[in-house]
Amino acid sequence: MSHDDMTTLLLWDIDGTLLTTGRAGIFAWEAAASELAGEVVDLQELSTAGLTDFTIGRAILGRLGLPADDALLERIVRSYEERLPAVLPLRPGRVLTGVREVLQFVSEERSDIGLHLLTGNTPTGARAKLMHYGLFDFFEGGAFATATGDRTEIARRALAGATNGRSVSLERVFVIGDTPHDVRCGRAIGARTVAVASGDYSVDMLQEHGPWRTIEGIPPVETFLAMLEDGN
């Protein structure tokens, strides 16, 4: 695929947009937290929607009464990453409706559309989830969580990496996600935002944040691409 042929870029969130792990990842966070605390830690009620892995790590350290310094934050995130592949089979997760069909069709039939990631997962965490659900090979690259960056900073890196120095109209850049955080970071880079009510937020809740489009879920390929190509 020639990079110069691409006229449309799709920047995808992972959790709640491409797939759901059934919150299996929380088991990895619990194990990482328990190791640090020296006792069993229950994080089943911890809200993680739209948060970066480092933000989640900070929140857990706060719960444990530990300082969120660089060393401890790095330690809990790396511990989570190491445990993640083993816990993913523990909950009935799945690729969300319509997603695989869109990714497969675009990969095989549309050399003018680039598929990239814009996620609050770390690179290692993202890879574990996408490999487990058979989606990893569809993506050319992406931007991921770092210790210091918020989602807007991740979005800027995602856009820079996806355009790769080429001039791409922002009207042809779409950020696809399931939380208000995705809408905000998409708008921050001037992209068109497609809010998908496939996670913890309803259509009405997402609509309040002013996305370009709000949809219940990823529709059939023809419908989805027609929506993007309509552009109005």
Distance CA 162, CA 118 (A): 10
Q: Which residues are CB-contacts of 213 (< 8 A; sequence separation ≥ 6)?
A: 192, 193, 194, 195, 227
Region 21-34: mean pLDDT is: 97
Q: 231 near 171, Cβ under 8 Å?
A: yes
Residue 144 amino acid letter: F
Residue 33 amino acid letter: A
Domain ranges for the chain:
3-21+93-230, 25-90
Distance CA 60, CA 22 (A): 19
Region 8-29: mean pLDDT is: 96
Residue 229 amino acid letter: E
CA of 40: how far to CAs of 30, 32, 37, in Å? 8, 10, 8
pTM above 0.85, yes or no: yes
Report the 10 Å Cβ neighbour count for 168. Answer: 17
- In this prediction, residue 3 carries a pLDDT of 40
pLDDT at 30 over 50: yes
The pLDDT-based confidence of 71 (bands split at 50, 70, 90) is very high
**% the chain with pLDDT above 70:** 97
3-21+93-230 under CATH 3.40.190.10, yes or no = no
